[in-house]
């Protein structure tokens, strides 16, 4: 007799499912009719039902309150936890205000709207922090970036739903690229309306996922405090960056009625806790390897990125190791100011429009020590041609590339390093410094560097008596005048040629004094970031060096500077074109200037309309006096300087070339290029 095994299996499966369903229904009935605490303590209930629920994430009770935390058994779980009752009776908006105070927020940048009104109502006339109102939400984001870069604190943005939230996407992407701590709070339609295409509804969580370190929608008022704390912790820990917290209107309008738990841990710390000792041992070994390579290197170079500025001692430690081991220092654009450029060991900026000396040094170094940098393509040039001598030295165990970096994903992402030291660059550099052997001199290496400095100094075609002013002249003169004021000087820029000339011709001496959009390259960044920096440093001389095309993108924020009592100084280098784009069109597209010349407003009338003082310079002999007047003006002021058109930023490493294959200044070549341009454009340009 042949048995029907398939039929038997089916019968067996049905019996098992029936039995499981009966058990589940019995358990469900118990859960429906009995308190959770009673169920969990009942010995007859299965062990799976007695298992404690996971504890909620981190709490927020960071400071003293009028009422001490109390111990309760409640809906948060069976286990006894410390609970905070100090916020009971407050609305979500009022809780937001309290959490800003607990997180030591002193400035909020934002623009109100319907979905976020419960929060704005709660912060009405608050004496706990300053509120800065922009003319556009993008301006609020860039102001928060400028504030964060100047102060070292976390920038805070508060905007409404829909377009209010989407307008902050560019600043968030910019902050993520450059590692700037920022928390953005966005209004949202009520939870009951989400997904219905309600008025001013946007899926800001989905939209912002790729331009934030973390984002979250708060689903109920009870989780609001811990979500706010998590946001600040994530934004400021590790590699800093933007975090978004979406606040539905019914959540911010709701009243907290129950105590909330205090203690918990962010998931991001779990892995480190599990492998902490192993990880620390690995870092210790790599620090020893790094120190050994530094001690045996003959032609080392320190390359400092913006990450070196995330520690208050970063600039000091960088100087110490440079002095101790006699190592020259170059920086990325975001690292400018971390090392005094008046120091003879300074090589200035590295990269596409960096110093030719820095480029030559990196290509000929046997050891590159990268500190808090991510090897952006504008720094490395063609990867296959990057640092050939260091790579050769690595094969001989006499050098290579050492990468100090806090973000693991940036290690070996672009450039393959020989030793990686994960963690805060400054903290780990201090540990390396302990075992670095002092060096008296590196005569051969520094003689070579001095030879390059004499051969490849920054230079340009100077003015003739009847020519317009050169933009490089304006910046170099302003740098000297600004440094004689006795004030702390902070410079912001837009993006374009003026940005590169500012990096090249300004003398950078102190950290956090150069604020620019490096990774994303956001035109219009200069003015709003200057306002944010001025709010952070009210006694500083804050100068926005801008191009006319870049300035046009956010010029509406001029009146915001007046309203915020921010006496920013705006220098507009007006060449009536998108200069960096026209430079590429001149070099690689046979002078075909496709849509790169714009009609500008009358900047002096604009200044008057915005209640800002205006100064205009068209002649060379007016410049010195105008610059002195510019920095001495009490309130916000615009200085418009009509500069020469079609002036190239040099040196320049063309796309696909190595760092040492740069185009350098040659007066005869530039004159010939001018002649060809006139001929090709029929003397129009």
Q: Please indicate, yes or no, whether residues 421 and 289 belong to a single structural domain of this protein.
A: yes
Whether 386 has a pLDDT exceeding 50, the answer reads yes
In this structure, is residue 269 part of a structural domain? no
Q: Please indicate, yes or no, whether residues 285 and 416 belong to a single structural domain of this protein.
A: yes
In this structure, is residue 316 part of a structural domain? yes
Asked if 386 is an active-site residue, the reply is no
Active-site option among 100, 172, 523, 580: 580
Q: Please indicate, yes or no, whether residues 484 and 561 belong to a single structural domain of this protein.
A: yes
Q: Please indicate, yes or no, whether residues 437 and 558 belong to a single structural domain of this protein.
A: no
Q: Where is average pLDDT lowest: 17-26, 426-435, 503-512?
A: 17-26
Whether 21 has a pLDDT exceeding 90, the answer reads no
- Ramachandran sector of residue 508 (left: φ over 0; alpha: ψ -120 to 50; beta: rest): beta
In this structure, is residue 479 part of a structural domain? yes
Active-site option among 19, 22, 199, 455: 199
Active-site option among 73, 82, 200, 622: 200
- The CATH number of residue 639's host domain is 3.40.50.970
Active-site option among 213, 249, 537, 646: 249
Whether 547 has a pLDDT exceeding 50, the answer reads yes
Confidence of residue 277 (pLDDT cuts 50, 70, 90): confident
Region 469-485 average pLDDT: 98
Residue range of the domain that includes 560: 471-649
Q: Please indicate, yes or no, whether residues 311 and 173 belong to a single structural domain of this protein.
A: no
In this structure, is residue 64 part of a structural domain? no
In this structure, is residue 393 part of a structural domain? yes
The first and second tokens of residue 423, run together, are 């963690």
Provide the number of structural domains found in the chain.
4
What's the pLDDT at 70?
A: 46
Asked if 298 is an active-site residue, the reply is no
Please name every residue paired with 157 in a beta bridge, in sequence order, or none if there are none: 109, 184
The pLDDT tens digits of the residues spanning 408-446 come to 999 999 999 999 999 999 999 999 999 999 999 999 999
pTM value is 0.88
What's the pLDDT at 115?
A: 97
Q: Please indicate, yes or no, whether residues 94 and 196 belong to a single structural domain of this protein.
A: yes
Structural element, H or E, at residue 155: strand 155-159
What's the pLDDT at 280?
A: 86
Region 58-85 average pLDDT: 51
- Give the chain's largest Cα–Cα span: 114
- The CATH number of residue 360's host domain is 3.40.50.1220
Q: Is 518 exposed, middle or buried (CB count within 10 Å of its CB: 0-12, 13-18, 19+)?
A: buried
What's the pLDDT at 66?
A: 44
Active-site option among 137, 201, 230, 557: 137
Asked if 580 is an active-site residue, the reply is yes
Alpha-carbon gap, residue 82 to 78, rounded angstroms: 12
Q: Please indicate, yes or no, whether residues 104 and 199 belong to a single structural domain of this protein.
A: yes
In this structure, is residue 58 part of a structural domain? no
Q: Which of 570, 546, 556 has its CA nearest to residue 167?
A: 556
Asked if 200 is an active-site residue, the reply is yes
Q: Please indicate, yes or no, whether residues 155 and 204 belong to a single structural domain of this protein.
A: yes
The first and second tokens of residue 362, run together, are 């990196």
Q: Please indicate, yes or no, whether residues 413 and 369 belong to a single structural domain of this protein.
A: yes
Percent of the chain with pLDDT over 90: 84
Asked if 553 is an active-site residue, the reply is no
Region 248-270 average pLDDT: 82
Alpha-carbon gap, residue 353 to 458, rounded angstroms: 11
Q: Please indicate, yes or no, whether residues 495 and 584 belong to a single structural domain of this protein.
A: yes
In this structure, is residue 353 part of a structural domain? yes
Alpha-carbon gap, residue 133 to 111, rounded angstroms: 6
Q: Please indicate, yes or no, whether residues 238 and 293 belong to a single structural domain of this protein.
A: no
In this structure, is residue 79 part of a structural domain? no
Of 455, 484, 499, at which residue does a domain stop? Answer: 455
Of 264, 295, 316, at which residue does a domain stop? Answer: 264
Q: Please indicate, yes or no, whether residues 315 and 423 belong to a single structural domain of this protein.
A: yes
Region 24-28 average pLDDT: 39
What's the pLDDT at 81?
A: 62
Q: Which of 62, 197, 37, 184 has its CA nearest to residue 116?
A: 184
């Amino acid at each position: 007799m042949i048995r029907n095994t398939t039929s038997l299996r089916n019968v067996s499966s049905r019996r098992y499912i029936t039995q499981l369903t009966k058990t589940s229904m019995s358990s469900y009935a118990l859960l429906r009719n009995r308190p959770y605490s009673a169920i969990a303590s009942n010995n007859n209930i299965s062990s799976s039902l007695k298992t404690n629920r996971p504890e909620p994430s981190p709490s927020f009770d960071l400071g003293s309150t009028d009422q001490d935390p109390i111990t309760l058994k409640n809906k948060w779980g069976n286990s006894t936890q410390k609970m905070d009752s100090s916020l009971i009776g407050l609305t979500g908006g009022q809780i937001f205000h309290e959490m800003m105070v607990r997180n030591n927020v002193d400035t909020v940048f934002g623009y109100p709207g319907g979905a976020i009104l419960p929060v704005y109502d709660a912060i009405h006339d608050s004496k706990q922090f300053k509120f800065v109102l922009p003319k556009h939400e993008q301006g609020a984001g860039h102001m928060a970036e400028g504030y964060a870069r100047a102060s070292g604190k976390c920038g805070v943005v508060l905007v409404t739903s829909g377009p209010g939230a989407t307008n902050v996407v560019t600043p968030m992407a910019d902050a993520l690229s450059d590692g700037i701590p920022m928390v953005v709070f966005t209004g949202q339609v009520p939870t009951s309306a989400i997904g219905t295409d309600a008025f001013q509804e946007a899926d800001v969580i989905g939209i912002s996922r790729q331009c934030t370190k973390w984002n979250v929608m708060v689903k109920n008022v009870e989780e609001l405090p811990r979500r706010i704390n998590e946001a600040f912790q994530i934004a400021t820990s590790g590699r800093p960056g933007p975090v978004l917290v979406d606040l539905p209107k019914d959540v911010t309008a709701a009243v907290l009625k129950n105590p909330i738990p205090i203690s918990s841990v962010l998931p991001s710390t779990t892995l480190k806790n599990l492998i902490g000792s192993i990880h620390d041992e690995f870092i210790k070994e790599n620090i020893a390897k790094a120190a050994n390579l530094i001690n045996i290197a003959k032609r080392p170079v320190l390359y400092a990125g913006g990450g070196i500025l995330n520690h208050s001692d970063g600039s000091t430690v960088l100087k110490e190791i440079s002095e101790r081991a006699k190592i020259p220092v170059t920086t990325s654009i975001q690292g400018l100011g971390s090392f005094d450029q008046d120091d003879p060991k300074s090589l200035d900026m590295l990269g596409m429009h960096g110093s030719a000396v820095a480029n030559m040094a990196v290509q000929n170094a046997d050891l590159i020590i990268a500190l808090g940098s991510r090897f952006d393509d504008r720094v490395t040039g063609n990867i296959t041609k990057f640092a050939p001598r260091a790579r050769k030295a690595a094969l001989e165990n006499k050098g290579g590339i050492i990468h100090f970096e806090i973000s693991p994903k940036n290690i070996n992402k672009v450039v393959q390093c020989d030793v990686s030291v994960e963690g805060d660059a400054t903290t780990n550099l201090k540990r390396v410094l302990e075992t670095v052997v002092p060096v008296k001199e590196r005569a051969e290496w520094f003689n070579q560097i001095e030879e390059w400095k004499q051969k490849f100094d920054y230079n340009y075609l100077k003015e003739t008596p009847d020519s317009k002013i050169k933009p490089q002249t304006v910046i170099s003169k302003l740098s000297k005048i600004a440094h004689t004021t006795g004030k702390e000087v902070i410079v912001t820029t837009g993006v374009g040629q003026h940005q590169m000339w500012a990096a090249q011709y300004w003398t950078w001496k102190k950290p956090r004094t150069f604020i620019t959009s490096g990774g994303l390259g956001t035109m219009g960044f200069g003015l709003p970031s200057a306002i944010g920096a001025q709010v952070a440093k009210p006694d500083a001389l804050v100068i926005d060096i801008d191009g006319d095309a870049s300035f046009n993108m956010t010029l509406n924020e001029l009146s915001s500077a007046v309203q915020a009592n921010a006496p920013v100084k705006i220098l507009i280098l007006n060449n009536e074109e998108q200069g960096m784009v026209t430079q590429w069109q001149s070099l690689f597209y046979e002078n075909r200037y496709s849509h790169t010349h714009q009609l500008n407003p009358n900047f002096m009338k604009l200044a008057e309309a915005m209640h800002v003082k205006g100064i205009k310079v068209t002649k060379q002999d007016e410049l010195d006096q105008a610059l002195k007047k510019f920095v001495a003006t009490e309130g916000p002021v615009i200085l418009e300087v009509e500069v020469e058109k079609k002036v190239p930023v040099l040196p320049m490493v063309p796309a696909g070339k190595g760092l040492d294959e740069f185009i350098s200044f040659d007066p005869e070549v530039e004159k010939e290029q001018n002649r060809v341009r006139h001929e090709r454009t029929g003397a129009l340009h």
